[in-house]
Amino acid sequence: MIKLTTVIIDDSDCKAVENVLRKGFLVHGDECISFENELNNYLGSKNVLVVSSCTAALHLALIALGIGKGDAVIVPDFTFPATVNAVELTGATPLLIDVDETTYNINTKLIPDAIKNWKRKEKIKAIIPVHEFGCPADMDKINDIAEKNNLFVIEDAACALGTKYKNKMAGTIGNIGCFSFHPRKALTTGEGGAIAVNDIELANKIKALRNHGIEQVKGKPDFILPGFNYRLTNFQAALGKNQLTKFDSWLKKRNKLQMIYREKLQNLPLQLPANIHGHSWQTFMVVLSEKFNRNSIIKQLKDSGVETNLGAYAIHSLKFYNEKYSFCNKYFPIATKLYKQGLALPFSQNMTEEDINYVVKILGKAFLEK
């Protein structure tokens, strides 16, 4: 089976984790701080905090910015539901925006009118652009809209460690950036995530919120606010830190592979993702023509040993959001299409050109049989 994604753990990763396990200090500690420093260097940001997941990171970001009941947050309709769940769980209301057909990112052209036409009583406080599948969102435009409307910018960079936007790293361009180290992403710690934040006071607040609300007061730990336990463990951090040393070479390999896919797929009836400079290619998702049933294509491919999946979800159409807000499909034509026809192809840095040839051959056959 050619898997959708493969977790690549080598001997040095195992050794790094084993060393921590043998020392016996397993919760947040030196390895976490050291991983934070390495991420800081890598991202060129001011403060990086490691956390238990990107969902935790998004939740912490919103809470730290004081967003909750009575507020609204702009979110793209096409994403993994965690982005919007985090908003909903603070008590705030999501303002969903359709996405672009080939970058799959929030369509910035639609945002100004959506703000103007917002009729609910909640006040729009923030925007969460998602760098979908590692494709850099149009951050200049987003920061411009944010500035004009007095909004915070929280980047969902779950898929976008290593993504560049005009020589800046994704996740360091807005007020706060959130990363994921889930095994479905390019660099993994099992579960895990990180927050990049430029403002030191905000960073300190997030630090306290991450750890039960504890802060040093006059040299003694005290509980300054009600917090969560959203910490990463020391052995996860050791794994992440060791993976980071190899990460740049992985990104190069991933970019090569997407170019190979692109070339071999060009004659098939599907739409390719935009080849945007700085893309980190966490996922390679194509869009099938409407004449194919995507789910039966997935099944056919699986029968021939090729694992594929849908790419991401149209949030407005999911049970909870649809029932609560009665969203209308017609406002989200692109997200609806990407959710229905998007196909994520096998993609990981250890794939070979032969693997890709096989995937493309099987895909072509599936199209002919329909």
Ligand X SMILES: *Cc1c(COP(=O)(O)O)cnc(C)c1O
Q: Does 355 bind ligand X (CB under 6 A)?
A: no
107 residue type, one letter: N
CB 104, CB 79: distance < 8 Å: no
Return all residues near 102 (Cβ < 8 A) that are at least 6 apart. Answer: 271, 272, 273, 274
Of residues 21 through 60, those in contact with ligand X by CB under 6 A are 53-55
Q: Does 193 bind ligand X (CB under 6 A)?
A: yes
Q: How far apart are CA 169 and CA 163, in angstroms?
A: 6
Segment near ligand X (CB under 6 A), from 10-18, 77-85, 221-229, 343-351?
Answer: 77-85
Nearest to ligand X of 47, 79 (CB atom): 79
Q: In terms of C-beta distances under 8 Å and separation of at least 24 residues, what long-range contacts does 329-334 make, across chains too?
A: 331/96, 331/98, 332/77, 332/96, 332/98, 333/98, 334/78, 334/98, 334/99, 334/100, 334/101, 334/107
Provide the minimum distance between the beta carbon of 150 and ligand X in the complex, in angstroms, as a whole number: 25
| DSSP H or E stretch at residue 299 | helix 294-303
Segment near ligand X (CB under 6 A), from 80-88, 234-242, 296-304, 316-324?
Answer: 80-88
Provide the minimum distance between the beta carbon of 219 and ligand X in the complex, in angstroms, as a whole number: 35
Position among 80, 152, 281, 321 found at the interface with ligand X (CB under 6 A): 80
Provide the minimum distance between the beta carbon of 332 and ligand X in the complex, in angstroms, as a whole number: 17
Q: Write out 304-317 in H/E/C secondary structure.
A: CCECCECCCEEHHH
Q: Does 158 bind ligand X (CB under 6 A)?
A: yes
Nearest to ligand X of 243, 300 (CB atom): 243
Give bridge partners of residue 51 from the DSSP assignment: 193
Q: Does 79 bind ligand X (CB under 6 A)?
A: yes
Nearest to ligand X of 141, 184 (CB atom): 184
Nearest to ligand X of 130, 344 (CB atom): 130
CB 194, CB 318: distance < 8 Å: no
Q: Does 130 bind ligand X (CB under 6 A)?
A: yes
Nearest to ligand X of 193, 240 (CB atom): 193
User: How many CA atoms lie within 13 Å of 337's alpha carbon, on the beta-carbon side?
Assistant: 19
Position among 61, 65, 82, 187 found at the interface with ligand X (CB under 6 A): 82
Provide the minimum distance between the beta carbon of 256 and ligand X in the complex, in angstroms, as a whole number: 23
The interaxial angle of helices 82-89 and 54-64, nearest 10 deg, is 40
Q: How far apart are CA 161 and CA 307, in angstroms?
A: 24
Provide the minimum distance between the beta carbon of 304 and ligand X in the complex, in angstroms, as a whole number: 27
Segment near ligand X (CB under 6 A), from 119-127, 156-164, 211-219, 314-322?
Answer: 156-164
Q: Does 182 bind ligand X (CB under 6 A)?
A: yes
Q: How far apart are the first and last CA of the chain?
A: 22
Burial class (CB in 10 A: 0-12, 13-18, 19+), 51: buried
Q: How far apart are CA 97 and CA 366, in angstroms?
A: 33
Position among 5, 45, 47, 83 found at the interface with ligand X (CB under 6 A): 83
- Total binding residues toward ligand X, as defined by CB under 6 A: 14
Provide the minimum distance between the beta carbon of 73 and ligand X in the complex, in angstroms, as a whole number: 14
| Interface residue list for ligand X (CB under 6 A) | 53-55, 79-80, 82-83, 130, 156, 158-159, 180, 182, 193
